[in-house]
């Protein structure tokens, strides 16, 4: 019951007038960002993080978390009315949301998406509140080898479960980690990797420079190139009566909502997975257990509810390892973690003991933001649809301006703005060749934490790497990480054997 | 695509070798009593980058990755034009920040993009291009006290500071 008391305190902190205002602005901005094709939660959080230096860290975090939530709701709006996902997390919502809209039932699809998102978010919040404190107290006993093993596990999930080209995923991880090591050596203070003796590298490469480069500039170039300005919109007829009727009808999708809510949370916890695969999996499972799977893809309410419940649930799930272990569960939470480091908060289990107000205020805000997002979403659907008419040739230059200004504000050095441009264009060019970019962002955030842990562990064991396998907690984690890295290899061998059998038979 | 794949892998391999070389400026081995040297971590990571590039190249030879099988152009005429006009525009925008300062550069960049790339009407263009720098100024310079560079336009801002502070 102690948890309930802490949660009540947290809700009161979140109900501070400044926080309420920030949550409202946050969910509204998030809805807009999520709805705009080409922008998702990760872009919004990366580009707007420098703007939060105005308010105290706890409020800044509440604001950014609200954007994260809002974006999960917003993605559905363009998936349904435009037929293209507003964010990668809403890809699965197009499968049934678009057919419903083409049948003239855009209102039903939009309302179902909002209600399912709310249920998914609520279920995940309860699971989060129940799991976070015990997990944090277990993690308190973790030493350097355990934390390094956990980071290894985070990267291993990208290789084993990420589904992208493996050498390219590895390249992305290594690149992010090397970029994180530029600047002064954390342990000896010696200058390191100062390219061309340019003094701008002395203060290291801030993770925001890479994140805004990739998710601001790179993403815009990518979107302009891939959409080529072809968008068509389906009108949604909306009135209060129709919304209420749609609310009743959306209950038909309860099975999808339930599956999405629980599955999404646990998939969200995994570092490589996050909301996008979570929503796709929820769609797949709901279709599999449905009595008439043939209706899916033609406008089934459950097909809209499942991915929408899952992506909201997964975004909360991704917060769990970020707050309790200091290991982000998604690219967006990686950026939130980097923000916490900038604000001088040490992420990890200690946070629950030393920064109780911060942690519980944030958890309390999850509940309130989720409710706000539902209300703002349902009340302003017509407004968001109207805003979607904003031509991309106006939105794109605004994002470029925000990226450049935000990149400067983060470190106040023009050197970093140029570096951001190079990363942005580079990310666009590499992405065209299927190089995944998310692992690099995770790596540049985790790099400065991982390196000292590794070096201290090796110092402790006088250079023997077996320390990671011999300790009771880090051992199993390291073994799981190694298995995950080797997983694609096992699959390859199995496929080869199957191929041989098929050839012989 | 196929050619771009191997050229990129080659360039990235060169980058990895450079990073490995650069890491050796610090000790990359184990120092007794101090633990691994300062170059240890970046050196082996860069070595990992190089190995990944070799692996990408092997996949290219075996035609295993999608880009190495594709005959599509890496950058078609639309992509190239877009990269030059948009990417070039952003590059010029950042360069202008040094001369005209952020606020002057934002104005010029938005006019360029909205009017000439987006072909929107002049009234719409000017409304957005003038509002954006004003809002940015109020938010960053005034509210957050993060002073953005003003370049040669600095004198124009002095009366504004007198007014606000």
Q: Using CA coordinates, name the residue in chain B closest to A173.
A: B49
CB contact under 8 A, A393 and B120: yes
- In this complex, which of B23, B74, B86 lies closest to A221 when CB atoms are compared? B86
DSSP H helical ranges for A412-473: 414-431, 438-460, 467-470
CB contact under 8 A, A421 and B90: yes
CB contact under 8 A, B42 and A193: yes
Q: Map A182-232 to HEC letters.
A: CEECCCCCCEECCHHHCHHHCCCCCHHHHHHHHHHHHHHHHHHHHHCCCCC
- From first to last of the 505 residues of chain A, give the pLDDT tens digit: 688 889 989 999 899 999 999 999 999 999 988 888 778 888 889 989 988 888 888 999 999 999 998 998 988 888 888 777 777 788 888 888 888 888 888 888 999 999 999 999 999 999 999 999 888 888 888 888 888 888 888 888 888 777 778 899 999 999 999 999 998 887 777 888 888 888 888 888 988 899 999 999 998 898 888 877 565 566 666 677 777 788 888 888 888 899 999 998 988 888 766 778 788 888 888 888 888 888 888 888 888 999 999 999 999 999 999 999 888 878 889 999 999 988 888 888 888 888 888 999 999 999 999 999 999 998 888 888 777 777 888 889 999 999 999 889 888 899 999 999 999 999 999 999 999 888 898 899 888 888 888 888 888 888 788 888 888 888 888 888 888 888 877 877 887 787 766 666 4
Taking the C-alpha atoms of residue B30 and residue A401, their distance in angstroms, rounded to an integer, is 46
Is there a contact between A286 and A303 (Cβ–Cβ < 8 Å)?
yes
H-helix or E-strand containing A340?
Answer: helix A331-342
Query: What ipTM was estimated for this complex?
Result: 0.94
Percent of chain B at pLDDT above 70?
100
Domain ranges of chain B: 2-69, 77-164
Give me the residue label for tokens 């948009």: B86
Write out residues 199-238 of A within 8 Å (CB-CB) of B: 217, 220-221, 224-225, 228
Write out residues 30-89 of A within 8 Å (CB-CB) of B: 51, 53-54
Averaged pLDDT score across all residues of chain B: 90
Backbone dihedral region for residue B163 (phi beyond 0: left; psi -120 to 50: alpha; all else: beta)? alpha
- In this complex, which of A170, A220, A433 lies closest to B8 when CB atoms are compared? A433
Write out residues 95-134 of B within 8 Å (CB-CB) of A: 97-98, 102, 106, 109-110, 113-114, 117-120, 124, 128, 132
Give me the residue label for tokens 């031509």: A391
A486 contacts chain B (CB < 8 A): no
A189 contacts chain B (CB < 8 A): no
Is there a contact between A70 and A27 (Cβ–Cβ < 8 Å)?
yes
- Which DSSP string corresponds to A102-142? HTT-HHHHHHHHHHHHHHHHHHHHHHHHHHHHHHHHHHTT-
């Amino acid at each position: 019951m102690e948890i309930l008391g802490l949660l009540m305190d947290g809700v009161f902190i979140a109900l501070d007038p400044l926080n309420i205002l920030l949550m409202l602005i946050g969910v509204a901005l998030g809805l807009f960002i999520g709805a705009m094709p080409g922008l998702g939660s990760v872009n919004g959080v990366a580009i707007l993080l420098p703007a939060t230096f105005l308010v105290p860290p706890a409020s800044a975090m509440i604001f950014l978390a609200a954007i994260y939530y809002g974006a999960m709701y917003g993605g559905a709006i363009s998936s349904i009315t435009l037929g293209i996902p507003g964010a990668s997390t809403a890809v699965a919502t197009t499968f049934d949301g678009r057919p419903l809209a083409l049948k003239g039932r855009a209102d039903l699809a939009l309302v179902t998406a909002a209600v399912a998102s709310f249920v998914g978010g609520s279920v995940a919040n309860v699971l989060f509140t129940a799991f976070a404190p015990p997990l944090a107290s277990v993690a308190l006993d973790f030493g350097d080898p355990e934390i390094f093993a956990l980071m290894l596990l985070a990267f291993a999930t990208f290789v084993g479960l990420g589904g992208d080209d493996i050498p390219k995923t590895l390249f992305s991880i290594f690149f992010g980690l090397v970029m994180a090591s530029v600047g002064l050596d954390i342990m000896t203070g010696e200058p390191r990797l100062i390219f061309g003796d340019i003094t701008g590298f002395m203060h290291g490469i801030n993770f925001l420079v890479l994140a805004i480069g990739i998710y601001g500039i790179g993403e815009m170039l990518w979107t302009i190139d891939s959409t080529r300005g072809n968008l068509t919109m389906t009108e949604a007829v909306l009135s209060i009566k129709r919304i209420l009727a749609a609310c009743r009808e959306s209950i038909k999708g309860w099975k999808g909502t339930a599956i999405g809510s629980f599955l999404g949370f646990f998939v969200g916890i995994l570092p490589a997975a996050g909301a996008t695969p979570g929503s796709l999996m929820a769609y797949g499972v709901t279709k599999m257990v449905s009595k008439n799977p043939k209706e899916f893809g033609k406008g089934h309410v459950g097909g809209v509810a499942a991915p929408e419940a899952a992506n909201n649930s997964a975004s909360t799930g991704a917060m769990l390892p970020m707050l309790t272990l200091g290991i982000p569960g998604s690219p967006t939470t990686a950026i939130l973690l980097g923000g916490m480091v900038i604000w001088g908060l040490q992420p990890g289990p200690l946070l629950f003991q030393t920064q109780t107000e911060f942690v519980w205020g944030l958890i309390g805000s999850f509940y309130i933001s989720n409710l706000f997002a539902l209300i703002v979403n349902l009340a302003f659907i017509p407004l968001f649809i109207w805003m979607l008419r904003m031509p991309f040739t106006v939105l794109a230059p605004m994002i470029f301006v925000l990226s450049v200004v935000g990149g400067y504000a983060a470190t106040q050095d023009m050197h970093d703005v140029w570096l951001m441009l190079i990363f942005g264009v580079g990310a666009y060019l590499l992405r065209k060749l299927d190089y995944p970019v998310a692992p690099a962002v995770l790596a540049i955030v985790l790099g400065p934490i991982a390196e000292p842990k590794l070096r201290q562990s090796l110092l402790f064991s006088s250079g023997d790497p077996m320390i990671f396998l011999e300790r009771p907690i880090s051992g199993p984690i390291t073994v799981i990480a190694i298995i995950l890295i080797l997983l694609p290899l096992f699959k390859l061998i199995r496929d080869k054997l199957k191929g041989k059998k098929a050839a012989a038979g | 695509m196929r050619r771009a794949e191997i050229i990129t892998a080659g360039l990235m391999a060169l980058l990895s070798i450079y990073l490995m070389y650069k890491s050796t400026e610090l000790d990359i081995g184990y120092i007794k009593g101090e633990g691994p040297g300062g170059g240890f971590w970046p050196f082996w990571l860069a070595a990992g980058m190089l190995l990944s590039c070799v692996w990408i190249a092997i996949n290219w030879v075996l035609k295993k990755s999608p880009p190495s099988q594709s005959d599509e152009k890496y950058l078609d005429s639309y992509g190239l034009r877009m990269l030059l006009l948009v990417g070039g525009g952003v590059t010029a925008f950042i360069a202008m920040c040094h001369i005209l300062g952020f606020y002057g550069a934002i104005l010029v960049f938005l006019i360029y993009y909205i009017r000439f790339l987006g072909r929107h009407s002049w009234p719409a263009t000017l409304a957005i291009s003038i509002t954006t720098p004003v809002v940015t100024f109020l938010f960053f310079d005034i509210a957050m006290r993060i002073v953005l560079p003003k370049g040669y336009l600095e004198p124009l801002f002095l009366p504004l500071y007198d007014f606000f502070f």
